[in-house]
Amino acid sequence: MKRLFVFLMLVAGSSCQPDKINATCYVCDVYSTTQPSRQTKEFCNKAEMDQYVKDVKAQSETALVSCRNK
């Protein structure tokens, strides 16, 4: 579980580039009980964002997940 969280923290700094012009991108902020600051991750694929949210919500230390269009 800790390895997954560390991996998510490393990936959180990466940004996506849309494959198509006018593609919808998303930004998710994750707040946890173990980290003083939020973790942010960008997606240009809704299915990937949905899976990320599902995985993060399954972690016991997750307090809040907020996603929005970019």
**What digits encode the pLDDT tens for the residues 20-68?**
666 789 999 999 999 889 999 999 999 999 999 999 999 999 999 999 9
In this prediction the pTM is: 0.68
Domain boundaries, the chain: 2-18+25-69
Contact by Cβ (8 Å): 5, 31 = no
- Amino acid, single-letter form, for residue 20: K
CA-to-CA separations, 68 to 3, 10, 52, in angstroms, rounded: 26, 21, 14
70 pLDDT more than 50: yes
pLDDT at residue 57 in the model: 96
pLDDT at residue 23 in the model: 75
